[in-house]
Amino acid sequence: MTKMKRRTFTHLAASAAGLSVLGFPMLARAKGANVVVIGGGFGGATAAKYLKRFDPSINVTMVEPAKSFVTCPFSNTVIGGLNPIGRITHGYDGLRKRGIKVVHDKAAAVNAAGRKVRLAGGATLSYDRLIVSPGIDFRWGAINGADASIAGVMPHAWQAGPQTVLLRRQLEAMPDGGVFVISPPVNPFRCPPGPGERISLVANYFKRSKPKSKIIVLDPKKKFSKQGLFKEGWAKLYGGMIDYRNLDNDGQVVRVDAGAMTLETNFGDMVKGDVVNFVPGQRAGKIAQSSGLADKTGWCPVDQLTFASRLLPNVHVIGDAAIAAPMPKSGFAASTQAKVCAAAVTALLSGRAVSKPKFVNTCYSLIAQDYGISVAMVYDFADGKIIKVKGSGGLSPSGASDAFHGQEADFARGWYDSITADIFG
């Protein structure tokens, strides 16, 4: 990746999802069509809001079991004790005020032939088009001893909410001099820079409150997102506190023993932690599996122009669940895809041609409260697929000043506030 030239990036980003979606010409309307959205997270809530914005005549119903949404972005700041859980919790009143019907229930089944969604509570919703953004499910059982029951002892905290709070409480209860073990998942997974940020902000908490403590990372991969920048920050801020082991260096977990609080590695070591954050491998959310939207990879193949499922008619899949590579599985990506998908659905319902989209993604990570790093990219659509725009985006430069990293941390907070206001406001 080239180093980020911020002016080039900003210019490209402005012409990306922003203009192609927000400048969408409203020529014909979908005249009271029904669109159901499954999931009220980054993808689903954005899709619901933008459908209504693009065409107020569409009846939009969003199905989401939770009364409020706790974001994974910035959840590492809660785990590191920098923010309370309330800072990352958002209600759905903003969407209701815009005329979206928010139904707090769980989608239990999709009948694509009959264009119906059955809810766990027994009701049935009919649709002309369905948008599905259920996020991730875990591949429990892929590693010996790692079934769903261990999450109460070894929280994954890879879906924000009670798991985030549990991991924070465990860290608070851990004595100074204790060991925190974290095992990130195999690829592909939600938020590639997420483990690096979590390691950083736990180290930041230990440095402030439990300086004799250690962190052991057991990573089943050879390398991780923004590795050079994270390692540079760790060396600068946390000295020898972090013992990072990768696939070639004893990092692969082959067995989990939640009773003994140990992870056994492929080299035969038993690594014991006072707090263990085991993050399992992932796949598309359960409803995508049970309704036949996912293929044998566990993820959902889509037409990357409209996000229409390649497996079920009149159904679109966005966000982490969709195969949208080379875009990463991020909240920003999910939200950008949602806008593109909402524009495509609006066009399809009113018989207009679908516009060629552009996409943008930025992932900020905090290594400390005032030390941020980022990766950014603009994406185009060509030859039937999403492609990276050459020369756009890139990484924060290595060897940057403290002032630069302070500014990146401010950008991270600004990004969080603006994207959550855009989605839930």
Residues 100/284, Cβ–Cβ less than 8 Å: no
Per rule CB under 6 A, is residue 316 in the interface with ligand FAD? no
Q: Where are the beta strands (DSSP E) in 226-358?
A: 242-245, 253-257, 262-265, 270-272, 275-278, 282-284, 302-303, 308-309, 315-317
CB atoms within 10 A of CB 153: 14
Question: How far apart are alpha carbons 59 and 52 in whole angstroms?
Answer: 8
Amino acid 119 reads: L
Q: What is the footprint of ligand FAD within residues 276-295 (CB under 6 A)?
A: 285, 287
Measured from the CB atom, the residue of 104 and 255 that comes closer to ligand FAD is: 104
Per rule CB under 6 A, is residue 135 in the interface with ligand FAD? yes
Per rule CB under 6 A, is residue 39 in the interface with ligand FAD? yes
Number of residues in contact with ligand FAD, rule: CB under 6 A? 38
If you ran DSSP here, which 8-state letter would residue 86 be given? G
Residue in 357, 392, 386 with CA at minimum distance from that of residue 22: 357
Distance between terminal CA atoms of the chain? 34
Question: How far apart are alpha carbons 6 and 9 in whole angstroms?
Answer: 5
Three-state DSSP class for residue 365: strand
Least distance CB 115 / ligand FAD (angstroms): 17
Q: Which of 17, 50, 54, 134 binds ligand FAD (CB under 6 A)?
A: 134
Measured from the CB atom, the residue of 55 and 64 that comes closer to ligand FAD is: 64
Question: How far apart are alpha carbons 14 and 21 in whole angstroms?
Answer: 11
Per rule CB under 6 A, is residue 363 in the interface with ligand FAD? yes
Least distance CB 38 / ligand FAD (angstroms): 5
Q: What is the footprint of ligand FAD within residues 86-125 (CB under 6 A)?
A: 106-107
Q: What tokens does 290 get? A: 């049970």
Stretch that binds ligand FAD, among 22-30, 62-70, 368-376, 380-388 (CB under 6 A): 62-70
Per rule CB under 6 A, is residue 40 in the interface with ligand FAD? yes
Stretch that binds ligand FAD, among 61-69, 80-88, 122-130, 174-182 (CB under 6 A): 61-69
Contact footprint for ligand FAD (CB under 6 A):
38-44, 63-66, 69, 72-73, 75-76, 106-107, 133-135, 158, 190-191, 194, 198, 285, 287, 319-321, 329-332, 334, 363-364
